[in-house]
């Protein structure tokens, strides 16, 4: 509903505004009657002047309330044309209020309550137009505003200029809807704005996410480790495509970022080893082979597969994998046996306490039943007198 502010002649506003003075005087800084009558010089006001001043205060307080509500509802974003006109009128009213002179006063200004009443009516009318305009523009700006709000939460510098340009274009788009009273014929501008916001959003996330791994990647020597370089590059490409697909999927992006960064670190590590090998290969290729086999020998010793040390590198690796799988399988078997033994013990304990066969239950269920049985015995021992046990 439009906001109405009834105005009467003879320097009075509607009495409905009288309550507004008490509610907003602490925030608006408006003049109060005490400031006129309680001063040390003993200035007294007539009843007409007092009524005149109270009406003006009520009007200015109403202006301030509407202005604050307009800010809360982002009218500057959704209704830039009408809200700007309302702000201009508010500025005029503030100037008039500063120069306001109550009837019968002794100040030099000629500004009267009638001027402020008339200006307030215009301000209210423009605010009503602003709220009405928002009803039209908000649905059309919903996606655009969503992008804008997301961008505001991206903590990164260097995009101020394109963002300001986009926001200016958005304001102009909203103004066209206001002036036409409809968004018909403006679909192409809406699509372009959405596309531009999405592109900026993607660029900002790319810059934020890819900066560190890209700097690390640029330190790699492609000629030294071409295969590792290619793998790391592909990881970065996959991360970039993921950001383009959905720049807001932070979980997936962080996961892919971790993979890409690890791939780059791995390439860096391989490059160091390649440098080490190349520095020795010409004088002692055998030493390089022995160095790597020494690492495998330590692993074989730990696994108890020393016989593998006589085999070639690939055979040792295959044998080590089989040995590890065997150990894991053995551990699982032992765990099953341990669980079976525990279950049997619990079942026997349950039989003693409850007289029931609980062997068919899981370990967790058996423990729960035993706890209930123990609690029941404890409760019974409290209730039954000692002499009757």
- Tell me the sheet residues that pair with 163: none
Please give the Cα distance from 162 to 196 (Å, whole number).
10
Q: Read off the tokens for 250.
A: 């932070």
Q: Read off the tokens for 76.
A: 């500057």
Integer-rounded Cα Rg, in Å, for the chain is 41
Percentage of the chain lying above the pLDDT 90 cut: 47
Q: What is the structure's pLDDT at 127?
A: 96
Q: What is the structure's pLDDT at 378?
A: 62
What is the arithmetic mean of pLDDT over 220-249? 96
Q: What is the structure's pLDDT at 290?
A: 81
pTM over 0.75: no
What is the arithmetic mean of pLDDT over 125-152? 95
Between 184 and 368, where is the model more confident? 184
First to last CA, the chain: 82
What is the arithmetic mean of pLDDT over 206-219? 95
The DSSP result for 49-93, as a single string, is HHHHHHHHHHHHHHHHHHHHHHHHTTHHHH-HHHHHHHHHHHHHH
Question: Residue 147: how many CB atoms within 10 A of its CB?
Answer: 20
Q: What is the structure's pLDDT at 357?
A: 78
CA 360 to each of CA 254, 311, 353, 363, 369: distance values in angstroms, whole numbers, following the listed order: 46, 50, 16, 9, 12
What is the arithmetic mean of pLDDT over 59-81? 96
Q: Read off the tokens for 177.
A: 């809807």
Please give the Cα distance from 162 to 148 (Å, whole number).
12
Please give the Cα distance from 173 to 304 (Å, whole number).
75
Assign 24 a pLDDT band (cuts: 50, 70, 90): very low
pLDDT at 96 over 80: yes
Alpha helices in the chain (DSSP H): 18-28, 33-37, 47-72, 75-78, 80-98, 113-140, 142-152, 160-180, 187-217, 226-245, 250-281, 285-303, 313-354, 363-383
Residue pLDDT, tens place only, 318-358: 888 888 888 888 887 778 777 777 777 777 777 776 777 77
Please give the Cα distance from 238 to 225 (Å, whole number).
20
Helix 113-140 and helix 47-72, axial crossing angle in degrees, nearest 10: 10
pLDDT at 382 over 60: no
Q: What is the structure's pLDDT at 20?
A: 37
Q: What is the structure's pLDDT at 188?
A: 94
Residue pLDDT, tens place only, 293-314: 888 888 888 888 889 888 888 8
Residue carrying structure tokens 């006129």: 36
User: Where do the domains of the chain lie?
Assistant: 7-140, 147-279
Q: What is the structure's pLDDT at 264?
A: 96
Least confident of 19-28, 100-109, 125-134, 292-301: 19-28
Between 283 and 16, where is the model more confident? 283
Q: What is the structure's pLDDT at 377?
A: 63
Phi and psi at 338, nearest 5°, equal: -60, -45
């Amino acid at each position: 509903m439009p906001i109405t502010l009834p105005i009467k002649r003879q320097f009075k506003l509607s009495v409905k505004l009288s309550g507004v003075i008490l509610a907003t005087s602490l925030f608006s800084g408006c003049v109060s009657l005490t400031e006129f009558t309680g001063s040390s010089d003993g200035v007294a006001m007539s009843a007409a002047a007092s009524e005149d001043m109270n009406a003006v205060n009520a009007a200015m307080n109403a202006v301030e309330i509407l202005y604050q509500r307009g800010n809360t509802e982002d009218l500057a974003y959704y209704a830039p044309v009408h809200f700007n006109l309302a702000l201009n009128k508010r500025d005029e009213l503030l100037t008039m209020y500063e120069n306001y002179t109550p009837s019968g006063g002794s100040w030099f200004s000629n500004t009267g309550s009638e001027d402020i009443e008339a200006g307030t009516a215009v301000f209210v009318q423009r605010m009503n137009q602003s709220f009405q305009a928002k009803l039209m523009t908000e649905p059309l700006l919903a996606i655009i505003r969503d992008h804008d709000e997301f961008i505001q939460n991206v903590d990164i510098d260097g995009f101020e200029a394109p963002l300001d340009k986009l926001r200016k274009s958005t304001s102009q788009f909203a103004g066209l809807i206001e002036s036409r009273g409809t968004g018909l014929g403006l679909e192409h501008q809406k699509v372009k704005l959405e596309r531009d916001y999405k592109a900026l959003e993607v660029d900002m996330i790319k810059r934020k996410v890819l900066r560190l791994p890209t700097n690390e990647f640029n330190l790699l020597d492609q000629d030294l480790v071409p295969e590792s370089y290619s793998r790391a590059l592909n990881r970065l490409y996959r991360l970039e495509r993921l950001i383009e697909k959905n720049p807001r999927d932070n979980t997936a992006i962080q996961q892919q970022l971790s993979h890409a960064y690890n791939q780059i670190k791995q390439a860096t590590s391989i490059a160091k080893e390649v440098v080490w090998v190349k520095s020795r290969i010409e004088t002692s290729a055998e030493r390089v082979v022995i160095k790597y086999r020494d690492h495998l020998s330590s692993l074989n010793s730990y696994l108890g597969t020393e016989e593998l040390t006589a085999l070639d590198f690939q055979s040792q690796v295959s044998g080590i994998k089989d040995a590890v799988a065997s150990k894991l399988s053995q551990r699982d078997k032992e765990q099953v046996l341990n669980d079976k033994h525990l279950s049997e013990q619990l079942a026997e304990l349950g039989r003693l306490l409850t007289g029931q066969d609980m062997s068919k239950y899981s370990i967790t269920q058996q423990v729960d039943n035993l706890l209930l049985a123990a609690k029941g015995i404890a409760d019974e021992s409290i209730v039954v007198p000692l002499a009757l046990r």
